[in-house]
Amino acid sequence: MSQILWVDDEIDLLQPYIIYLKGKNYEVVTASNGEDALDALAQRVPDIVFLDENMPGMTGLETLQEIKRLRPEVPVVMITKSEEEHIMEQAIGEKIADYLIKPVNPSQILLCLKKHIHQQEIVTEQVQQNYRQEWSDISYMIDTATTIEEWQAIERTLSKWDLELENSAMRPLIEDQRTQANAAFAKWIAKNYESWFSSDGKRPILSTDVMKHAVFPLLDKGEKVLLCVIDNFRYDQWKTIQPLISEFYTIRTEEQYTSILPTATQYARNAIFSGLMPLQIQQMYPQYWVEEGDEESKNQYEKELVQTLLDRYRRRESFNYWKVNESDFCERVIAQLKGVQTPLNVVVLNFIDMLSHSRTESKMMRELANDEAAYRSLTLSWFRHSPTYELLRRAAELGFTLVLTTDHGTTRVKNAVQIVADKNTNTNIRYKVGKALNCNSKNVFTIEQPKRVGLPCPNISSSYAFCTGSDFFAYPNQFNYYAQYYRNTFQHGGISLEEMIIPLVTLTPKG
């Protein structure tokens, strides 16, 4: 039974309300002045306080201050005859939950209770009911999807329910449905991926098309563009930070594009900046391609690759390029923005990728981000408190059109599959490239002729193998150790909706 503390110097006149609320299964404790109200609060913690603003002795506002000091977690609804603006502002400043003007009627009181005491359980029940009704529709979408647009719709729908059900007992149901979707998506990719690279193949917007599709048209209109590439950024993470970005930007277009395979930075981000598949980069600009086995950074030539793209399309725009790995450097970028006149400005933000890797290596980070909901929460907390928020806010003030995207997403891996490979095979646990790859899992997608899909061959007999769904590779040597070590970590490089169907958003500054 929920408990109400009602404080009013004319409490005897409120007996009809109290009887009404008791009939609705509420317990009502009353007080006729501020001192008695504080005594009552010292003995019990009500679910809500109704507080009259105009009382003799200790005023309602004075009582409110003491209530917030004594029980800051208890919502307080101020009830007053006065509509003076300064009283409302002072009450709001003291963080009241609601404000009612006398005379109030029982339905207003009941609505207030549902809003401030029962809102979460009402919303949760309604959300769960809505998902139950839509569950079969989503399953049908998954079973019948034949185009990338349909898979994009599935990822949007699943992400929506991931967000809405993240604190619900029905989370296992949406997780099972995502598993079903990823299994079907992997089969669809295996069937269609190679056809995207044939001369007459119809294909979705891929990593190689991002600049031409989203950035060049804005430059052609004379707009000053900030292309912000957040490494390892999933669609659900975009929806998590969208309300914060919407404080200073409005969405012009919200699209999804498809990351190339492997869904790894070396391949996908270089493809964005060059407009070329990895094999083309290796052949046309060998000085800018770093092989899997090389120890140097795989993305140290991004600025140079942007220039090659502009040169090939005979574009004369000057551009700035920043790669942000630390907060101090991000603050320096913010300071530089004011004087920027170049039409194209590219910033790469690596924090979420760093978060993903640190979560794998740190037991504490595993506890902080033990599932997708916690991973999203950390993303939101980072964005709200990091210089990235200030960077985008400042860009909006200076009139930059923002193109926000990523090179690939990430997925939480759960099932280790055994693979045997040459000692020179790469270390990524979602994909392998090398000679004599041998894996007995039926859920692995292999590419025996990499050149057909624009991928380089380190050796003439090299092939690629990709994990699908929530699988990850582990070698027979110390298999159980690595299976345990990587289980429930966030990884990328393979085939899943979260890794491949990723956000591409164009935003216009407000004002």
Residue 396 is predicted with a pLDDT of 97
Which of 196, 226, 253 lies at the terminal end of a domain, its last residue?
Answer: 196
Do 430 and 400 share a structural domain? no
201 domain residue, yes or no: no
Pick from 415, 413, 436: nearest CA to 425: 436
What is the gyration radius of the CA atoms in the chain, in angstroms? 28
Do 178 and 107 share a structural domain? no
Residue 357 is predicted with a pLDDT of 61
Do 421 and 369 share a structural domain? no
Do 385 and 503 share a structural domain? yes
Tell me the one-letter amino acid at 71. Answer: R
Q: What percent of the chain has pLDDT over 90?
A: 71
- pLDDT tens across 179-229, in order? 999 999 999 999 999 999 987 768 999 999 999 999 999 999 999 999 999
Q: How many residues does the chain have?
A: 511
What domain count does the chain have? Answer: 4
For the residues 344-373, what does the mean pLDDT come to? 75
Which residue(s) pair with 431 in the sheet? 466
Pick from 391, 319, 320, 399: nearest CA to 351: 391
For the residues 386-415, what does the mean pLDDT come to? 96
The whole-angstrom distance between residue 137's C-alpha and the CA centroid of its chain comes to 24
Pick from 294, 345, 295: nearest CA to 324: 345
pLDDT at 47 over 70: yes
What are the b/e assignments for 89-116, b being 16+ CB within 10 Å?
ebbeeeebebbbeeeeeeeebeebbeeb
- pLDDT tens across 264-303, in order? 999 999 999 999 999 999 999 999 998 876 766 768 999 9
Which of 141, 166, 196 lies at the terminal end of a domain, its last residue?
Answer: 196
Which of 163, 196, 229 lies at the terminal end of a domain, its last residue?
Answer: 196
Number of H helices, E strands in the chain: 21, 19
Do 288 and 385 share a structural domain? yes
The predicted model scores a pTM of 0.85
492 domain residue, yes or no: no
Do 379 and 240 share a structural domain? yes
Residue 86 is predicted with a pLDDT of 65
Do 131 and 101 share a structural domain? no
Residue 42 CA: distances (Å) to CA of 37, 46, 338, 372 = 9, 10, 54, 40
For the residues 331-345, what does the mean pLDDT come to? 93
As to burial, measured by CB atoms within 10 angstroms (0-12 exposed, 13-18 middle, 19+ buried), residue 234 is: buried
Do 407 and 425 share a structural domain? no
Residue 358 is predicted with a pLDDT of 59
As a whole number of angstroms, the distance between CA 4 and CA 27 comes to 6
Residue 259 is predicted with a pLDDT of 98
Residues 6+ apart with CB under 8 A from 316: 310
175 domain residue, yes or no: yes
What is the maximum span of the chain, computed from C-alpha positions, in angstroms? 91
Residue 83 is predicted with a pLDDT of 66
What are the b/e assignments for 258-268, b being 16+ CB within 10 Å?
bbbbbbbbbbb
Average predicted confidence (pLDDT) for the chain? 91
Q: What percent of the chain has pLDDT over 70?
A: 93
pLDDT higher for 226 or 100?
226
* Domain CATH for 54: 3.40.50.2300
Categorize the per-residue pLDDT at 365 as very low, low, confident or very high, splitting at 50, 70 and 90.
low
Residue 510 CA: distances (Å) to CA of 249, 388, 392, 463 = 5, 18, 12, 49
205 domain residue, yes or no: no
Do 71 and 32 share a structural domain? yes
Helices (H), ranges, 165-301: 171-192, 210, 216-220, 235-245, 265-274, 278-284
159 domain residue, yes or no: yes
pLDDT at 333 over 70: yes
Do 138 and 24 share a structural domain? no
248 domain residue, yes or no: yes
Dihedral sign from CA coordinates of 62, 67, 72, 76: negative
For the residues 224-253, what does the mean pLDDT come to? 97
pLDDT at 429 over 60: yes
Residue 511 is predicted with a pLDDT of 76
As a whole number of angstroms, the distance between CA 466 and CA 190 comes to 10
For the residues 94-120, what does the mean pLDDT come to? 86
- pLDDT tens across 407-424, in order? 999 999 999 999 999 888
Do 449 and 314 share a structural domain? no
pLDDT at 449 over 80: yes
Do 155 and 53 share a structural domain? no
As a whole number of angstroms, the distance between CA 375 and CA 362 comes to 14
C-beta of residue 73 within 8 angstroms of C-beta of residue 64:
no
The label of the residue with tokens 């025996």 reads 448
Question: Which residues constitute the domain of residue 287?
Answer: 211-411+499-509
338 domain residue, yes or no: yes
pLDDT at 401 over 60: yes
